[in-house]
Amino acid sequence: MSKQDRIKEEIGAIKSYLGFVIAFIITIGAGIIKIYLDNSSDFLIFLGVLSILVLAAIFSFLAKVMHQKINKLEDI
């Protein structure tokens, strides 16, 4: 496998991971809204918001890595 093909495969995998992270953020966000509307638990709301922030940081990291790989692909 050439270096160019390998980088393309890595970019494709990172795109999949980004999709999973977005799905998790949407799911947790819906859960937080449900908990908020039911006035269930402030701790669970805090935990949900914290997890969304962590997932947003992971998303940013993955997006940065993907763009670096795209730039690396242009140099080849």
For the chain, give every domain's residue range: 3-75
45 and 36 Cβ atoms separated by less than 8 Å = yes
Query: Residue 1 pLDDT > 80, yes or no?
Result: no
Mapping DSSP onto H, E and C, the string for 54-73 reads HHHHHHHHHHHHHHHHHHHH
Q: Note the pLDDT tens digit of each residue in 2-51.
A: 888 898 999 999 999 999 999 999 999 999 999 999 988 899 999 999 99
Q: Specify the pTM.
A: 0.85
Distance CA 42, CA 49 (A): 11
Residues 6+ apart with CB under 8 A from 73: 4, 7, 8, 11
